[in-house]
Chain A
């Protein structure tokens, strides 16, 4: 079994490597096939609907993006715990059910607080 798990881990590495090789191979092929023109200085400008760009293109953006990402982190870690709990639930039954109810209730309290504070409504 251990041997098998190790083999499967090598599969992950191998797939990542082979996939990267495939993408760069195709890009190299495209580089050989494609035509290239120099163009004038406007060619390298950011495409903003034909108008010359103004200001910094790494512009300021809304704070909601950040808050949602923060909430994602909290809930995604919760999901990892729930996955493991679900795997052995057949042995835990009622005790497991109650403890997970308490665990989720605490997190739901956080969600309710965020909801009340108006985080969930996009501004």
Chain B
């Protein structure tokens, strides 16, 4: 108790009022939630059941928007920390252990900065350009499957939609560059337009081989066809296509070695020069989301999507178990649910807090209790998400997908740490003289292989 009062004395007056209120809230809120759920639960379920389509849309858009924020923060932190270690520096190390919340604090800083429009800028276009850039990123997310069934909208023209919407980024960048009324911005916008437009062609042509093999433009179906062992992934049947897609993808996301659009030693910050505050924030938010989308697409199209590198069903069959699925219905518990809701958080918090207290006995007790409580909340969110109907399929799929996608994000960051920037003539020449013929070669080689295999009777 003394430790708690001592640490309470250290905080400011506002904190002295807020912290007790917070503690009371943390105790009252779970109980209130349970009571409210008991009262309006059946009615709520019936309403949601009759509007399942709208519910699905709301969940999808919320999940995607909420996921894009931590994804961008993680990539920014990775970029700071990984490149720092590559340069034999320490990197961010102030906010939280190892500077883990550095990018979050940077994001909050951007939020509180003045959002300024230059006198001579075209105000309407200047405001809408970052919106367009971010919107294309969010709308591309719609067709990316995060796991079996975990997709915003399973369009049957997924690939075509992807490139159609992804190509709109050019419009946003061009408008941002033009409306700023700044020579650097104009040049940056034009450069990004020329670059994105040139690499769009090899990018789209490199997946034609994939469509030939899969016979479908639905990303979901392409992902499903890669299930099984690691050699069932399309990268082994389309190595050239995968390579071209990766190179063009790096250029599409405006990353090093193709980051001429914001070459800071040449044209300040390119199209983002005149931007400040949250509109600048959104331009860069969109860039990092685009990095994630590109990695996700490479994984989805060529590296097995959400599938594990081993045939899970084969392994299960070997052990002698059928396909795993666990169903748990919280409704069975009835009145015990309330008792559980009161007791379980308390016990689990103490259990989770214990190791932190034992490791650092010199720190105040409330710190380890807080960590325990945060872990409990994370656990509860996970358990609640899974409890209604657990199908291990999509959980495992999501984990595999995230691991693979962030592995490719790491490659993007790695490239930024090691490669020098190319010149603009090299950039454009490479797209038109090498990648375009190579992607066409890949296309016809794949088509020829299919014809030969069909005529030989092997499917």
Contact A61 B142 (CB under 8 A): no
| Assembly CA distance A65 to B432 (angstroms) | 14
A109 interfacial by beta-carbon distance below 8 Å = no
A113 interfacial by beta-carbon distance below 8 Å = no
| Assembly CA distance A96 to B451 (angstroms) | 10
Chain A interface size, as a band, is 35 or more
Given contacts A14-B57, A97-B448, contact A68 B198 (CB under 8 A): yes
B354 interfacial by beta-carbon distance below 8 Å = no
Contact B139 A16 (CB under 8 A): yes
Give a binary string over B58-94; 1 marks a CB under 8 Å from any A CB, 0 the rest. Answer: 0011001100000000000000000000000000000
Question: Which residues A65-95 have CB closer than 8 A to chain B?
Answer: 65, 68-69, 71-72, 75-76, 79-80, 82-83, 86-87, 89-90, 93-94
Contact A30 B190 (CB under 8 A): no
Cβ–Cβ < 8 Å partners of B440 in chain A: 104, 108
Cβ–Cβ < 8 Å partners of B111 in chain A: 26, 29-30, 33-34
| Cβ-defined partner of B131 (8 Å) among A24, A33, A58 | A24
Contact B135 A20 (CB under 8 A): yes
Cβ–Cβ < 8 Å partners of B273 in chain A: 47
Contact A90 B215 (CB under 8 A): yes
| Assembly CA distance A101 to B443 (angstroms) | 10
Contact A111 B436 (CB under 8 A): yes
Beyond the given pairs A26-B111, A64-B194, 12 more chain A to chain B contacts, judged by CB atoms under 8 angstroms and listed by A's residue number, are A11-B152, A15-B152, A18-B65, A19-B61, A30-B110, A30-B278, A30-B281, A45-B118, A47-B118, A47-B273, A68-B194, A93-B450
Contact A47 B274 (CB under 8 A): yes
Question: Which residues A4-29 have CB closer than 8 A to chain B?
Answer: 5, 7-8, 10-12, 14-16, 18-20, 22-24, 26-27, 29
Contact A89 B212 (CB under 8 A): yes
| Assembly CA distance A58 to B112 (angstroms) | 31
Sorted from nearest, which 8 A-B pairs have the closest CB atoms? A44-B119, A122-B425, A30-B278, A11-B153, A86-B211, A46-B182, A19-B138, A72-B197
Question: Which residues B275-332 have CB closer than 8 A to chain A?
Answer: 277-279, 281-282
The main secondary structure of chain B at its interface with chain A is: helix
Contact A46 B120 (CB under 8 A): yes
Q: 20 A-B contacts, Cβ less than 8 Å apart?
A: A11-B142, A11-B153, A12-B142, A12-B161, A15-B139, A18-B65, A19-B61, A19-B65, A20-B135, A26-B282, A30-B111, A34-B113, A36-B114, A43-B116, A64-B194, A79-B163, A83-B204, A97-B444, A120-B429, A122-B428
Shortest Cβ gap from A48 to chain B (Å): 6
Shortest Cβ gap from B446 to chain A (Å): 9
| Assembly CA distance A26 to B277 (angstroms) | 11
A35 interfacial by beta-carbon distance below 8 Å = yes
Cβ–Cβ < 8 Å partners of B64 in chain A: 15
Contact B153 A75 (CB under 8 A): no
Contact B186 A58 (CB under 8 A): yes
Contact B208 A34 (CB under 8 A): no
Cβ–Cβ < 8 Å partners of A43 in chain B: 116
* Smallest CB gap from A91: residue in B: B215
Question: Which residues B112-169 have CB closer than 8 A to chain A?
Answer: 112-116, 118-120, 127, 130-131, 134-135, 138-139, 142, 152-156, 159-161, 163, 167
Contact A86 B120 (CB under 8 A): no
Given contacts A75-B436, A111-B432, contact A83 B160 (CB under 8 A): yes
Contact B208 A11 (CB under 8 A): no
* Smallest CB gap from A90: residue in B: B215
Cβ–Cβ < 8 Å partners of B130 in chain A: 23
Cβ–Cβ < 8 Å partners of A14 in chain B: 57, 61
Cβ–Cβ < 8 Å partners of B153 in chain A: 7-8, 11-12
* Smallest CB gap from B432: residue in A: A120
B101 interfacial by beta-carbon distance below 8 Å = no
B205 interfacial by beta-carbon distance below 8 Å = yes
B6 interfacial by beta-carbon distance below 8 Å = no
